[in-house]
Amino acid sequence: MYLFFRKFLFLFDAERIHVLSLDLLSLAHRFGLLRFFMKRRVQAPVTVMGIDFPNRIGLAAGLDKDAGHIDALAQCGFGFIEVGTVTPLAQDGNDKPRLFRLQQDSAIINRMGFNNSGVHNLVANIKNSQWFKQDKSKCVLGINIGKNKVTTLENAVDDYLICMDHTYCHADYITINISSPNTPGLRELQHGDGLTNLLTRLKDKQAELADRYNRYVPLAVKIAPDLSVDEVKDIAKRLIATEIDGVIVSNTTNSRPSTLHCQKLATETGGLSGPPVFELSNQILEQLISELHGKIPVIAVGGVSSAEDALHKIRSGASLVQIYTGFIYSGPSLISACATKLQEI
């Protein structure tokens, strides 16, 4: 059924349909209609970062930026949902158009630029959700945090600290996004002493908040796929040294594989996601896992469009898998297919 509706939806502007689809999904949930179309959540519990996940398949950040659709997305069968990226202050993001479908490649290019309504609005939406009010155990919630575009790299840590302060009580885990290609200079935070200083400050804040609320919320770092072998080695050493709780591999890529069919749209700037990034993401995933020596769990994301793709990520050493572009192209059936396949592990 989803594929039937997709043909109609894909006739229109990508960003408008993105917003409309989420609104319709939440409307269907509100009137109790989703249960007639969604399969039951696959129950295959696993513990990662000290958190009990209902299953290994999650939604990557970027789809529900303001956490306004948690309940509807949870009913789709995800074991966990990551909302955001959220910044301290609301911001419009980059100029439109900024979201493009490469349909022949089942891929997407986006240059959204952390458009969101700010951390206060995100927290308010979480508090208004059924997930928050009734049963958090059904689905794990991650909150992806970033810096405002106007904030300098020298002051970036302050933005992350502000977001941590406001979201800590409401998250099962928090993701530090330092790898989006659509915020100028952001990826510089992945390297050298700047990365160590950032993570040290955030781990200190985590300890302070854990003591204040008597609750430990793990911190994960999301890295890019556009990294050299030496850069991955250095990042791994710094993640281990700062005792980060998890790492997400990987964000979208600035590269454009020669195999892309939609060459005209491939010239658009922004991050590429979907099947064309699968191999590149896997290379970084496998190298990082080798460098981490089992000391930090890894969440894999990047190009997963089938159950076999998800299984490949897990067999490469990942503990959990996130989907995004595959969900847009295949719909909720991909969630249950992947989660069921991973029961074989």
173-209, pLDDT tens digit by residue? 999 999 999 899 999 999 999 999 999 999 999 999 9
The Cα–Cα gap between 109 and 30 comes to 31
Cβ neighbours, 10 Å, residue 99: 18
The pLDDT tens digits of the residues spanning 122-134 come to 999 999 999 998 8
Give the whole-angstrom CA distance, residue 68 versus residue 44: 26
Task: Indicate if the pLDDT at residue 1 is higher than 70.
Answer: no
- CB neighbour list of residue 268: distance below 8 Å, 6 or more residues apart: 100, 109, 111
Q: Is the CATH number of domain 2-344 3.20.20.70?
A: yes
Beta bridge partners of 249: 223, 300
Q: What angle do CA 336, 4, 70 make, to 5 degrees?
A: 45
What integer pLDDT is reported at residue 335 of this predicted model?
A: 96
Q: Which residues contact 211 (CB under 8 A, 6 or more apart)?
A: none
Percent of the residues in the chain that have a pLDDT greater than 90, as a whole number: 88
Q: Is 180 a residue of the active site?
A: yes
Phi, psi of 7 (to 5 degrees): -55, -40
Please pick, among 117, 180, 273, 319, the residue that the annotation labels catalytic: 180
The tens digit of pLDDT for each residue in 53-110 reads 999 999 999 999 999 999 999 999 999 999 999 999 999 999 999 999 999 999 999 9
Instruction: State the sign of the Cα–Cα–Cα–Cα dihedral 176, 180, 182, 185.
Output: positive
Our CA dihedral for 287, 293, 297, 302, rounded to 10 degrees, sits at 10
Give start and end residues of each alpha helix (H) in the chain: 2-9, 14-30, 70-75, 119-127, 130-133, 156-167, 192-213, 229-241, 263-266, 278-292, 307-315, 325-330, 333-341
Pick left, alpha or beta for residue 177 (phi over 0 → left; psi -120 to 50 → alpha; otherwise beta).
Answer: beta
What pLDDT is stored for residue 43 in this prediction? Answer: 87
Predicted confidence band at 138 (pLDDT cuts at 50, 70, 90)?
Answer: confident
pLDDT at 36 over 90: no
Give pLDDT, residue 268: 96
Extract the tokens encoding 290: 């080798």
Contact of 73 with 58, CB cutoff 8 Å: no
pTM of the entire structure? 0.96
Instruction: Read off the pLDDT of residues 247-296 as tens digits, 9 standing for 90 and up.
Output: 999 999 999 998 999 988 999 999 999 999 999 999 999 999 999 999 99
Determine the Cα angle at 71 with ends 1 and 171, to 5°. 135
Residue with tokens 């190298």: 287
Domain boundaries, the chain: 2-344
